[in-house]
Amino acid sequence: MSLVPPPETPPAAPSLRTGEIDVANAAEMRLLFGSIFGKPMSEAFWNWKYRNSNSHGMGVWDDDRLVAHYGGVGVDVIFDGKPALAVQIVDVMVAPSARYGVRTHSPFFLATSRFIERYVGYRRTYLIGYGFPSDRHLHLAQRLGLYASVGGMSELSVEGSTTRLPTELLLQRRTITAENFPQYAGAIDSLWQSMQTSLPAAILLRKDSQRIHYRYLQHPENHYRCLFWRHRLSGKPLALAVVKEEPSRALLMDVVAAATDFPRVVQWVANAMMREHNLPLVFWLSSAWVPSLHLGALPVKVLPIITPANIYSDSPKPEVLQDRWCLTAGDTDYL
């Protein structure tokens, strides 16, 4: 395949320079994050998110002041039935004083374009990318020729029952913790294999035991409940579900199970949350997969979240990626 080089990035204003964010200057990035989003980013959280070989941050400085940042967290995915490395775009931010609008010499464009040029596309670190951008970020990137839309997200509301269903009598449920995790790792990997096989057309983030352990049991700040079901008589693993309990609701972060089992697993979680905590359950899922997973009978609210794709460098085309990402709340970095 012949490669089409990315468009030439226009020269930056003399006072602007780009560079990598690393341990040495991460405090500058965290300071910018706090000023933009109104909440601090701890050093522990930055380390959890960025301090591995597959994560990068691109900064833009005006003289000696960091004014923009574009981050990417490397994630393993299954794409066309094969493993690939993708990137989740995170922590895109520009200081208010450096928001120049739709310009190809703006700090936003410089941070985004330099990151994509260096890391995203064929023969680069990440083959494809995704994210959960704000409306402003998405529309600006579209107008600058950086992104295209390839999907969206929906929120499903699941009504739980306080009465135990007859089928639930055959279930054995356990809570997975950091301490007992090793005894469940093999079962989680088996469930992940079943999920891959049952969703051959989907682009899936890897949901094996290693990913589950890192994402939920090693998180430096958030607490999640990892619920595991097996058949009471045969001992066969049936599902893993991860829940984040919030003050007024329970958010179903992830399900690892065969696709045909999703409807009943979601109901098991809803029933458990209602019986034990009196919390309603909501589940985020890529909109295109709601009917495919036979969840369309549930109340559905379309979320103002669009799934983007890179069109700035030579990558798989948007039409190849359209409606194929099967994402959940667990595929975010902020929930």
- pLDDT: which is higher, 176 or 8: 176
Q: What is the pTM of this model?
A: 0.91
**Does the pLDDT value for residue 67 go beyond 90?**
yes
Domains located in the chain, CATH noted: 16-151+305-321 (3.40.630.30), 160-279 (3.40.630.30)
Model confidence at 175, pLDDT cuts 50, 70, 90, reads very high
Residues shown for the chain: 335
> How high is the pLDDT of residue 155?
97
Q: How confident is the model at residue 3 (pLDDT cuts 50, 70, 90)?
A: very low
pLDDT of residue 84: 97
- Give the pLDDT score at 166: 73
pLDDT of residue 104: 67
Helix 26-37, helix 43-50: angle, nearest 10 = 110
Residue 259 has pLDDT above 60, yes or no: yes
Mean pLDDT (whole number) for 49-74: 92
| Predicted pLDDT of residue 2 | 35
pLDDT, position 109: 93
Q: Give yes or no for a contact between 145 and 9, defined as CB atoms under 8 angstroms apart.
A: no
Q: What is the per-residue pLDDT for 163? A: 75
* pLDDT, mean of residues 198-207: 97
What is the predicted pLDDT for the residue at 140? 86
State the Cα–Cα distance between residues 282 and 251, nearest whole angstrom.
5
To the nearest 10°, report the CA torsion of 95, 121, 210, 186.
150
**Is pLDDT at 25 greater than 80 in this prediction?**
yes
Q: Is 306 helix (H, G, I), strand (E, B) or coil?
A: strand
Contact assessment for residue 6 and residue 30, using Cβ atoms and an 8 Å cutoff: no
Beta strands 281-286 and 300-310 are unpaired
- Do the beta carbons of residue 266 and residue 158 sit within 8 Å? yes
Taking residues 263-287, report their average pLDDT.
95
Q: What is the pLDDT of residue 165?
A: 72
